[in-house]
């Protein structure tokens, strides 16, 4: 049986994947998430719910939006509708071969929800993952036409009626777009896109672009870059209404997330990453862990983090650092690389079941079959 992480959110039981509806409201950070309340594998998709005051210690609440008789509750976002004094969830409803956008409403800080009203339907099979935010006097939605490899932007004044603004496609971003997030940061606009496949380590992964948004169209200033170079960071989105720009992702990879052998290791299946603060510096998105970390200066070409049951190994190969987790992970994608020029500054966040690293500012997230013992750098 795997040890439960202390620094990462895990559900009491059963399956989770994408973070949904991230919002800071009434003095708390609200983390909704894709959840199967009945089984330790994907299915019966609903929105689970947890809250925190510090983004480290989480309290899980009851299921927020349960699977409906006519549709599953897929990913989406949440906003505070000041005019009507209510939280509004905007999510993708999945029914057979159709995905549409729905609204649900909460008047008690996200504890109970009703509504489940369809508001945007293009009669498409892969039209999902709406992220909504306030822009001047209107609402903006970014949502993917997944297999068309497009992020579509819509506008609304009331959250019910939506007008199409534009579509965006990046030739550098891989297959199957998911979970877009457009937000303003340090005078620029950032667009985050999850792709499956298309990750830097194989399987699913994430990209970001920095550019400008004029209320209708997103225009990138440079090519897409990887948000995280590890295999286990996906579907990350940012909190609406938070005092700083903060993101959380799902720590897993669709290449093996549904591998049945992992169901028997624990009573839950899936965890969230540590929260990260975002800023822009010199045209790059800079991410800083929220939580206890350790920083190491490394000048050798070969080193390892040694745990009780094995080692996470690092080998310099030109301007890349090859990371080998094969002693601590028994599935697909056991080696991956991250840019590494010059001496290395590595910041590590250790926890049972995973390691999160910043290698000269490049993020690396990896699941590991390890406990709470802190490794030794050797």
The per-residue pLDDT for range 314-371, each reduced to its tens digit, is 999 999 999 999 999 988 899 999 999 999 999 999 999 999 999 999 999 999 999 9
Q: What is the mean pLDDT of residues 227-241?
A: 98
Instruction: Tell me: do 221 and 357 sit in the same domain.
Output: no
Least confident of 123-132, 168-177, 231-240: 168-177
Q: What is the mean pLDDT of residues 29-39?
A: 97
Q: What is the mean pLDDT of residues 207-232?
A: 97
Instruction: Tell me: do 302 and 283 sit in the same domain.
Output: no
> pLDDT band at 265, cuts 50/70/90?
low
Burial of 335 (0-12, 13-18, 19+ CB in 10 A): middle
* pLDDT tops 70 at residue 1: no
Among the three residues 289, 313, 332, which one is the final residue of a domain in this structure? 289
> pLDDT band at 264, cuts 50/70/90?
low
CATH number at residue 124: 2.115.10.20
Structural domain contains residue 38: yes
Instruction: Tell me: do 239 and 343 sit in the same domain.
Output: no
Among the three residues 236, 261, 289, which one is the final residue of a domain in this structure? 289
Q: How far apart are CA 376 and CA 304, in angstroms?
A: 8
Which residues, including other chains, have CB under 8 Å from residue 331's CB and lie 6 or more apart?
256, 259, 262
The domain of 364 spans 294-377
Q: Quote the pLDDT of residue 175.
A: 85
Instruction: Tell me: do 156 and 217 sit in the same domain.
Output: yes
Q: Quote the pLDDT of residue 47.
A: 98
Q: How far apart are CA 45 and CA 48, in angstroms?
A: 9
How big, in percent rounded to 5, are the helix, strand and coil portions of the chain?
0, 55, 40
Among the three residues 239, 270, 289, which one is the final residue of a domain in this structure? 289
Which residues are designated catalytic?
Answer: 18
Instruction: Tell me: do 35 and 81 sit in the same domain.
Output: yes
Q: How far apart are CA 59 and CA 123, in angstroms?
A: 38
Instruction: Tell me: do 271 and 300 sit in the same domain.
Output: no
Tokens representing 238? 């940012």
* pLDDT tops 90 at residue 2: no
> pLDDT band at 95, cuts 50/70/90?
very high
Q: Quote the pLDDT of residue 3.
A: 87
Instruction: Tell me: do 133 and 254 sit in the same domain.
Output: yes
Q: What is the mean pLDDT of residues 144-167?
A: 98
Tally of domains in the chain: 2
Structural domain contains residue 266: yes
Structural domain contains residue 105: yes
């Amino acid at each position: 049986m795997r040890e439960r992480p202390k620094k990462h959110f895990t559900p009491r039981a059963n399956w989770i994947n994408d973070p949904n509806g991230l919002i800071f409201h009434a003095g708390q950070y609200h983390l909704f998430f894709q959840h199967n309340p009945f089984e330790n594998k994907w299915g019966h998709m609903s929105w689970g719910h947890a809250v925190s005051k510090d983004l480290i210690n989480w309290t899980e609440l009851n299921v927020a939006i349960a699977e409906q008789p006519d549709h599953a509750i897929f990913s989406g976002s949440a906003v505070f509708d000041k005019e009507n004094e209510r939280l509004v969830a905007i999510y993708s409803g999945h029914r057979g071969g159709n995905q549409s956008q729905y609204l649900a409403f909460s008047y008690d800080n996200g504890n109970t929800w009703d509504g489940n009203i369809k508001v945007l339907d293009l009669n498409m099979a892969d039209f999902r993952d709406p992220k909504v935010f306030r822009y001047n006097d209107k609402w903006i939605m970014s949502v993917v036409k997944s297999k068309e490899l497009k992020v579509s932007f819509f506008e609304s004044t009331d959250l019910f009626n939506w007008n199409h603004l534009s579509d965006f496609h990046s030739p550098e971003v891989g297959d199957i777009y998911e979970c877009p997030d457009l937000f303003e940061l340090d005078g620029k606009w950032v667009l985050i896109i999850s792709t499956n496949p298309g990750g830097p380590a194989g399987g699913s992964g994430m990209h970001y672009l920095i550019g400008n948004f004029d209320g209708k169209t997103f225009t990138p200033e440079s090519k897409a870059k990887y948000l995280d170079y590890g295999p286990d960071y996906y579907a990350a989105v940012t909190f609406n209404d938070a005092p700083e720009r903060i993101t959380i992702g799902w720590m897993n990879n669709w290449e093996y997330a549904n591998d049945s052998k992992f169901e028997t290791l624990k009573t839950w299946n899936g965890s969230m990453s540590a929260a990260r603060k975002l800023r822009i510096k010199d045209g790059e998105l800079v991410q800083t862990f929220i939580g206890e970390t350790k920083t190491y200066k490394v000048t050798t070409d070969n080193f390892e983090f040694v745990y009780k049951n094995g080692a996470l190994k690092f080998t310099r190969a030109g301007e890349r650092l090859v990371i080998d987790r094969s002693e601590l992970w028994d599935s697909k994608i056991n080696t991956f690389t991250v840019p590494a020029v010059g001496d290395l500054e590595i910041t590590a966040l250790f926890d049972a079941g995973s390691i999160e690293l910043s290698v000269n500012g490049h993020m690396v997230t990896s699941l590991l079959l390890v406990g709470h013992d802190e490794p030794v750098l050797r």
